[in-house]
Structure 1
Amino acid sequence: MLLTVVVTVILIGGCFLIHLWTLERLGRWVYRRKDEIRHPFPIILTTIFLAHLVEVFLYALGLSLLDWAGEGELRGAIVGGPGWFEDHFYFSIASYTTLGIGDILPHGNIRIVAGIEALNGLVLVAWSASFTYLIMERLWGRQGPGEKL
């Protein structure tokens, strides 16, 4: 159980730091270049999406480590061999997005990691949405009614 707690704390902290670093850099980039770039939102949304994928990948690595260490397993997943990590990544996406499809189920201590990942993902997706909203409001709020970017 101690390994599960340690891995979970590292995953939460790592994901928050990745997200903070990404959004901070994006915010600085947008405000430095706000007069040069006509439509920054494709770049902003792609970068945020990639940050979320990195965070999902980290959780998949953590789940794989805990599975390998005997702290639990994913039932319904491929056991060993090709496709083993892909199942952990797929399960991680379903957990992070709180989709919870249910074709792969966690058993043992990794159930805790799956639940925490859902909470962590919910917070980070909300953070991304509020960041994007604030950037849009500040950039588009400079215009008068009916004006285009």
Structure 2
Amino acid sequence: MLLTTVVAVALIGACFLVHLWVLEGLGRWIYRKGNRIRHPLPIVLTTVFAAHLVEVVLYALGLSLLDWAGEGELTGAILGGPGWFEDHFYFSIASYTTLGIGDILPRGNIRIVAGLEALNGLVLVAWSASFTYLIMERLWGRKGPGEDI
């Protein structure tokens, strides 16, 4: 259980740091003086999507480590051989997005990591949505009272 706790805390911290660095970098890039990019939103959305994929991969690696260490397993998954990591990645996407498809289920201590991944993913997706909204609002501006829409 100690290894599971350490891995879970490390994954949560790593994902928060990745997200912070990506959003902070995007914010600085967008508002840099002399930035001539007219429509940065596609770049923002692509970069945020890539950050989420990196975070999903981090969780897949953590789940793989815990599976390998005997802290639990994914039932319904390929056991060893080709496709083993892909199952962890697929399960991680379903957990991170709180989709929870249910064709692969965690057993053992890794259930805790799967639950925390869902909570972490929910917070990070909301953070991304808030950031994107603020960028759009600032870039597109608001019309004041009496101004043409």
TM-score (norm 1): 0.94
Distance in 1 separating the partners of 2:34 and 2:92:
35
Instruction: Give 1:137's aligned residue.
Output: 137
Q: Deviations over 1:50-96 (max 9, x none)?
A: 00000000000000000000000000000000000000000000000
2:90 counterpart residue number: 90
Q: Stretches of 4+ moved more than 2 A in 1?
A: 142-146
2:100 aligned partner: 100
Paired with 1:93 and 1:34, the residues of 2 have a C-alpha distance of 38
Task: State the AA in 2 paired with 1:103.
Answer: D
| Paired residue secondary structure (1:32) | coil
CA distance 1:87–1:33, change in 2 (3 Å): farther
2:69 alignment partner AA: A
Counterpart secondary structure, 2:77: coil
Q: CA deviation at 1:43?
A: 0.2
* Runs (5+) with no aligned partner, structure 2: none
Provide the residue aligned with 2:14 in structure 1.
Answer: 14
Q: Distance in 2 between matches of 1:124 and 1:137?
A: 20
The CA distance in 2 between the partners of 1:13 and 1:76, in whole Å, is: 29
Gaps of 5+ in 1: none
The residue correspondences of 1:7-86 to structure 2 (distance < 5 A) are 7-32=7-32, 36-86=36-86
What are the within-5 Å matches in structure 2 for residues 104-123 of structure 1?
A: 104-123=104-123
Matched residue SS, 1:101: coil
Contact in 2 for aligned 1:34/1:139 (Cα 8 Å) = no
Normalised to the residue count of structure 2, the TM-score between the two structures is: 0.94
Cα 1:71/1:136, change in 2 over 3 Å:
same
Aligned pairs, number: 146
Work out the percentage of aligned pairs sharing the same amino acid. 83
Q: CA RMSD for the aligned pairs?
A: 1.4
